[in-house]
């Protein structure tokens, strides 16, 4: 069978301009080759910086942000599209090969109606008349399970939800009947319950239209549901390339094995959950404009244990953390810490009360002053809370660096000189420096690659054993909850849906929402999607 | 381990959330009525939810009118606070206190300022700015003619500078970081850095004095034909164009560059569309709002900033009229000119705001 797309020995470079240094040429992708047949799906998987998107875009002969394809061949139906001139490549893009971006919200033009954008490529390339294109768009809106398909095209991008936009983007890519679609992390920005719908819609639509696809993601469990073959990438090179079954069930390389087995750490919960270091009672909170976020939320956390708060975006979990820290004073309810009621607002709390509760953020980047060294960042709470300075302070900073497994050689580095995982470790050391009894962790691992995230989780667990610190761990990821929590609170739309010990919250009988949430988390198992869809009511209209 | 032994701890709470699960939408527009469709609050808040566009425009209109009143108060107060008055300036150092007192009485300066302010405002609202103290002519009549001249000048300056600025901005984008872009940037920077009177004198020196191709002074009379007028205003228009061009051009360039680096332009490129279509259909509509804002600001500057240029070129417009009136403390004229300038500035800015609101699809098509 002839190959639809055949990529041979691809090499891609970019020039980077580090401040204050000579520009240097970086090789992003090297020696990557693969073949794709008509109607098949190849999953490209790897961590950030592995070159997945860059390879995907090479199928459209496109280099984003100064990337240059300098070597190799990209054969589409036997023709090297890298050798085409501008008008030649324009006749391929949007006609034979289409692209689905990660953030559909940004990729749709806010000034035009969805329908017009969906059919634009088909009309411009003269593939269909306007009537035919509109009919096809309507058909695709139906196949993708969009609400009110007849009028959906008349709406503007800001008038529909994120999940709907992602499906509209898929419709836009499918509309001109392309031979190949490049999906670039199409579900990464979505909540799990939305992701499963979009995933199912994409899978159904490409099967229905017999289109081939490159599916780019960092989530092996997602790609296992949709692709025929998988290529694992790291640092721009191929690690492993094989059928989905082989890669998932019998990975040959260590790196792939690590990816497959990641998130399989599980920890038993503490058997005695009676005490309460932190007690939250009937909290109501909202913003100054009258928008109410939290309704009657109560939970508690025993000393030395971990309470995981799970929920999707907009569920109010981060707001709850702000209420606990005092950044957002609640309108009703009370917070008791170590048997004593905490003043509602930050201003009313004593230095010692502030010291005992510390916080770690999702973006370690933005939570650190880029002009301070690691020594200053970690040293700040030491001088603020304990009045340390000079050699004593440096000693303590070194100790803390040892605790986060980084060592004194990082003392004089700036945040820009650290990797994402190292930055998060420094943020943890900064929190530890205050010798807190409670650390609020707001999605500290969700911006990190799976293996790095695993390292951070293990560090947090070890620190808990050593220092008996308690964690409130905010996350949207059920696998993390399984790995580290003692008790779990499920939140949905500002209300507490379910709260209790992990073993009880995560086992039946479930309420509707927890059931939906748990069933939506992709599992590293081929055929999982079909199995779940059978048991789960399709709710596409709502998303 | 969990199965054995009794467990103490939190009781499992369940099912407090009454609503059926639905994913939260990702778009960032918080101003949305709650699902039941009921909107609380005042009439204005309800109106704001139902017709956000009309509400925003009405709000801008109201703000502009309020601002204009505040400005009128400030102009009047500022002139009140000036030391010396018309009577002493008019009569000179040797005037007797009796003569000064008489003139003050004639002009009504002996009445309290609040009464004079209300009187003046009442007239101004109806278009009557009183009579000039110096010439005893009607201020409105004088201004009518002068304003026409100033607008004539500003209109031609705008007619040339706006398309030129937008065109050059797009050209700079097309050749980004290459020679044409750099040349345009250097020249526009130089034009921004030079004060307008200096540019004016440079132009006079070269075009009128050395080469003799342009007329100076740029005075226009009622008896002049249209073409004669055009040739008279050539130099002041050129000066104004040079002054406002650079700012508009640089902002246009920045606005288009900003849009060109957005994800939806990449989408358009990956649809295989032509460069022209990408710029015209996908980039331009989203760059309109910032560009309109800059253009309106510069138009306002054109009307207000002609003061210096008119004096340099001896052009009989509002600016020169105002400067003359200031030197003789002819307060009704100064007040009237100040208020008209302020009105132009405020309403052009409001127009920019309204156009920017209209250009925003999120406001034009509420959820």
Structure confidence by residue, pLDDT tens digits, B213-227 = 777 777 777 777 778
CA gap B308, A114 in Å, rounded: 51
Interface test mutation site (partner B, options A158, A188, A199, max chain B beta carbons within 10 A): A158
Kindly tell me if the per-residue pLDDT of B135 is higher than 50. Answer: yes
Cβ atoms within 10 Å, residue A363 = 16
Q: What is the pLDDT of residue B34?
A: 41
Quote the crossing angle between the two packed helices A512-520 and A528-535, to the nearest 10°. Answer: 160
Task: Name the β-bridge partners of A232.
Answer: A45, A240
B271 and A93 in contact by Cβ < 8 A? Answer: yes
User: Average pLDDT, stretch B300-328?
Assistant: 82
- State whether residue A130 is helix, strand or coil: helix
Cβ atoms within 10 Å, residue A221 = 19
Cβ atoms within 10 Å, residue B101 = 14
| pLDDT, tens digit (0-9, with 9 covering 90-100), for B234-276 | 888 888 888 888 888 888 888 888 888 888 999 999 999 988 8
- For residue B11, what is the nearest residue in chain A, using CA coordinates? A500
Residues of B numbered 248-307 whose beta carbons fall under 8 angstroms of chain A's beta carbons: which are they?
262-264, 266-274, 277, 281-282, 285-286
Given CA atoms A469, A475, A481, A483 in this order, what sign does their dihedral have? negative
**Using omega within 30 degrees of 0 as the cis cutoff, is the peptide bond preceding A241 cis?**
no
| pLDDT, tens digit (0-9, with 9 covering 90-100), for B68-94 | 889 988 888 887 777 666 677 777 767
- For residue A315, what is the nearest residue in chain B, using CA coordinates? B24
Q: What is the pLDDT of residue A293?
A: 86
A121 and B271 in contact by Cβ < 8 A? Answer: yes
Q: What is the pLDDT of residue A42?
A: 94
B361 and A500 in contact by Cβ < 8 A? Answer: no
Going by the DSSP 8-state scheme, the letter that residue B365 receives in this structure is S
Quote the crossing angle between the two packed helices B139-174 and B331-358, to the nearest 10°. Answer: 40
Q: How far, in Å, are A259, B52, B302, B303, B348 from residue B345 at the CA level? A: 63, 25, 10, 8, 5
Please tell me the distance in Å from B41's CA to the nearest CA on chain A. Answer: 10
CA gap A256, A248 in Å, rounded: 8
B139 or B89, which is more confident? B139
- State whether residue B94 is helix, strand or coil: coil
First to last CA, chain B: 53
B26 and A161 in contact by Cβ < 8 A? Answer: yes
Q: In chain B, which residues have their Cβ closer than 8 Å to the Cβ of A183?
A: none
B7 and A501 in contact by Cβ < 8 A? Answer: yes
User: Average pLDDT, stretch B99-123?
Assistant: 79
B34 touches chain A (CB under 8 A): no
A60 and B12 in contact by Cβ < 8 A? Answer: no
On whether the CB atoms of residues A299 and A501 are closer than 8 A, the answer is no
Q: In chain B, which residues have their Cβ closer than 8 Å to the Cβ of A302?
A: 9
On whether the CB atoms of residues A33 and A10 are closer than 8 A, the answer is yes
* Closest by CA position to A144, among listed A124, A185, A116, A172: A172
B10 or B65, which is more confident? B65
* Closest by CA position to B162, among listed B299, B285, B356: B299
Which ipTM was obtained for this model? Answer: 0.76
Please tell me the distance in Å from B38's CA to the nearest CA on chain A. Answer: 14
A512 and B10 in contact by Cβ < 8 A? Answer: no
CA gap B100, B85 in Å, rounded: 10
Interface test mutation site (partner A, options B36, B266, B270, B291, max chain A beta carbons within 10 A): B270
Q: How far, in Å, are A125, A280, B91, B286 from residue B299 at the CA level? A: 42, 58, 40, 21
- State whether residue A300 is helix, strand or coil: strand
Q: What is the pLDDT of residue A188?
A: 79
A93 touches chain B (CB under 8 A): yes
On whether the CB atoms of residues A335 and A411 are closer than 8 A, the answer is no
| pLDDT, tens digit (0-9, with 9 covering 90-100), for B35-45 | 444 445 567 66
CB neighbours of A428 closer than 8 A, spacing ≥ 6?
Answer: A360, A404, A439, A444, A456, A459, A460, A463
Kindly tell me if the per-residue pLDDT of B15 is higher than 60. Answer: no
A101 and B267 in contact by Cβ < 8 A? Answer: yes
Q: Which helix (H) or strand (E) holds A317?
A: helix A317-325
Show the low-confidence residues of chain A (pLDDT under 50): 538-543
- pTM of the complete model: 0.74
CA gap A463, A475 in Å, rounded: 19
Q: What is the pLDDT of residue B7?
A: 38
CB neighbours of A198 closer than 8 A, spacing ≥ 6?
Answer: A163, A166, A167, A170, A186, A187, A190, A543
Q: What is the pLDDT of residue A143?
A: 82
CB-nearest partner of A300 from B10, B271, B282: B10
CB neighbours of A148 closer than 8 A, spacing ≥ 6?
Answer: none
On whether the CB atoms of residues A404 and A425 are closer than 8 A, the answer is yes
Q: Which of the four pLDDT bands, split at 50, 70 and 90, describes residue B294?
A: confident
Out of A458-462, B65-69, B229-233, least confident range: B229-233
Q: What is the pLDDT of residue B301?
A: 82
First to last CA, chain A: 39
Residue A432's φ and ψ, nearest 5 degrees, are -65, -30
A125 and B17 in contact by Cβ < 8 A? Answer: no
Kindly tell me if the per-residue pLDDT of B10 is higher than 90. Answer: no
Task: Name the β-bridge partners of A284.
Answer: A332
Q: What is the pLDDT of residue A114?
A: 93
User: Average pLDDT, stretch B134-159?
Assistant: 84
């Amino acid at each position: 069978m002839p190959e639809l797309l055949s990529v041979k020995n691809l090499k891609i470079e970019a020039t980077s301009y580090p401040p204050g240094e000579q520009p240097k040429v970086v090789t992003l992708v090297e020696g990557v080759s693969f073949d794709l047949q008509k109607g098949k799906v190849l999953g490209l998987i790897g961590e950030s910086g592995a070159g997945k998107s860059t390879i995907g875009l090479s199928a459209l002969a496109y280099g984003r942000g100064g990337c240059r394809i300098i070597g190799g061949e990209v054969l589409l139906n036997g023709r090297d599209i890298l050798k085409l001139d501008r008008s030649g490549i324009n006749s391929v893009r949007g006609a034979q090969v289409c692209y689905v971006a990660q953030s559909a919200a940004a990729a749709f033009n806010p000034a035009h109606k969805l329908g017009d954008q969906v059919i634009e490529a088909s009309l411009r390339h003269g593939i269909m008349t306007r009537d035919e294109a509109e009919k096809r768009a309507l058909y695709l809106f139906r196949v993708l399970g969009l609400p009110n398909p007849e009028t959906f095209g008349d709406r503007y991008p800001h008038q529909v939800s994120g999940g709907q936009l992602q499906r509209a983007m898929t419709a836009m890519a499918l509309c001109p009947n392309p031979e190949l679609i490049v999906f670039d992390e199409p579900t990464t920005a979505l909540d799990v319950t939305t992701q499963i719908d979009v995933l199912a819609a994409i899978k159904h639509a490409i099967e229905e239209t017999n289109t081939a696809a490159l599916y780019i993601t960092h989530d092996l469990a997602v790609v296992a549901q949709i692709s025929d073959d998988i290529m694992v990438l790291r640092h721009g090179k191929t690690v492993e390339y094989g059928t989905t079954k082989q890669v998932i069930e019998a990975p040959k390389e260590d790196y792939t094995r690590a990816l497959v087995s990641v998130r399989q750490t599980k920890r038993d919960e503490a058997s005695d959950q009676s005490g309460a270091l932190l007690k939250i009672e009937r909290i109501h909170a909202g913003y100054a404009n009258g928008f109410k976020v939290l309704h009657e939320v109560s939970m508690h956390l025993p000393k030395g244990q971990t309470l995981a708060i799970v929920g999707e975006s907009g569920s109010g979990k981060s707001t709850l953390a702000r209420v606990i820290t005092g950044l957002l004073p609640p309108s009703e309810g009370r917070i008791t810490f170590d048997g004593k009621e905490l003043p509602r607002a930050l201003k009313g709390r004593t230095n010692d009360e502030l010291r005992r509760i510390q916080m770690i953020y999702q973006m370690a980047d933005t939570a650190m002053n880029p002009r301070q060294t690691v020594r200053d960042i970690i040293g700040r709470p030491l001088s603020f809370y304990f009045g340390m300075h000079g050699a004593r302070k440096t000693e303590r900073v070194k100790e803390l660096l040892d605790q986060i497994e980084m060592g004194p050689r990082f003392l004089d580095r700036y945040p820009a000189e650290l990797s994402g995982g190292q930055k998060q470790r420094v943020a943890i050391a900064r929190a530890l420096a205050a010798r807190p009894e409670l650390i609020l962790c707001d999605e500290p691992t969700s911006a990190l690659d799976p293996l790095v995230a695993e390292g951070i989780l293990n560090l947090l667990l070890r620190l808990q054993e050593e220092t008996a610190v308690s964690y409130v761990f905010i996350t949207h990821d059920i696998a993390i909850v399984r790995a580290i929590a003692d008790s779990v609170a499920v939140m949905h739309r500002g209300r507490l849906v379910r709260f209790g010990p992990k073993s009880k919250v995560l086992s039946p009988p479930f309420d509707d929402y927890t059931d939906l949430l748990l069933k939506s988390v992709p599992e590293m198992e081929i055929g999982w999607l079909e199995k779940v869809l059978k048991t789960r009511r399709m709710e596409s209209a709502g998303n | 381990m969990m199965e054995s032994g009794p467990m103490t701890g939190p009781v499992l709470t369940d099912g407090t959330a009454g609503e059926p699960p639905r994913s939260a939408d990702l778009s960032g527009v918080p101003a949305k009525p709650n699902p039941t469709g009921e909107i609380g609050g005042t009439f204005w808040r309800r109106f704001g939810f139902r017709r956000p566009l009309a509400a925003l425009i009405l709000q801008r209109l109201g703000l502009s009118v309020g601002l204009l009143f505040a400005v009128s108060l400030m102009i009047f107060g500022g002139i009140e606070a000036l030391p010396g008055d018309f009577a002493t300036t008019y009569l000179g150092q040797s005037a007797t206190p009796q003569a000064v007192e008489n003139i003050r009485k004639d002009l009504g300066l002996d009445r309290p300022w609040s009464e004079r302010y209300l009187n003046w405002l009442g007239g101004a609202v109806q278009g009557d700015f009183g009579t000039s103290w110096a010439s005893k002519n009607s201020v409105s009549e004088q201004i009518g003619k002068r304003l026409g001249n100033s607008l004539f000048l500003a209109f031609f300056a705008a007619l040339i500078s706006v398309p030129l600025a937008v065109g050059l901005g797009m050209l700079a984008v097309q050749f980004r970081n290459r020679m044409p872009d750099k040349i345009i940037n250097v020249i526009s920077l130089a034009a921004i850095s030079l004060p307008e009177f200096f540019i004016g004198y440079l132009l006079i020196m070269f075009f009128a004095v050395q080469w003799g191709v342009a007329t100076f002074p740029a005075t226009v009379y009622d008896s002049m034909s249209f073409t004669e007028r055009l040739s008279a205003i050539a130099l002041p228009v050129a000066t104004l164009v040079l002054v406002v061009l650079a700012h508009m051009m640089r902002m246009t360039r920045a606005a288009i560059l900003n849009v060109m680096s957005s994800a939806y332009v990449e989408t358009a490129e990956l649809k295989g569309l032509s460069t022209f279509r990408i710029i015209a259909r996908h980039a331009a509509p989203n760059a309109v709002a910032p560009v309109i804002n800059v253009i309106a600001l510069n138009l306002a500057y054109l009307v207000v900033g002609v003061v210096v240029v008119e004096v340099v070129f001896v052009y009989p417009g509002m600016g020169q009229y105002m400067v003359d009136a200031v030197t003789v403390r002819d307060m009704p004229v100064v007040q009237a000119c100040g208020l008209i300038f302020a009105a132009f500035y405020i309403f052009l800015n409001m127009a920019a705001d309204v156009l920017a609101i209209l250009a925003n699809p999120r406001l034009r098509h509420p959820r």
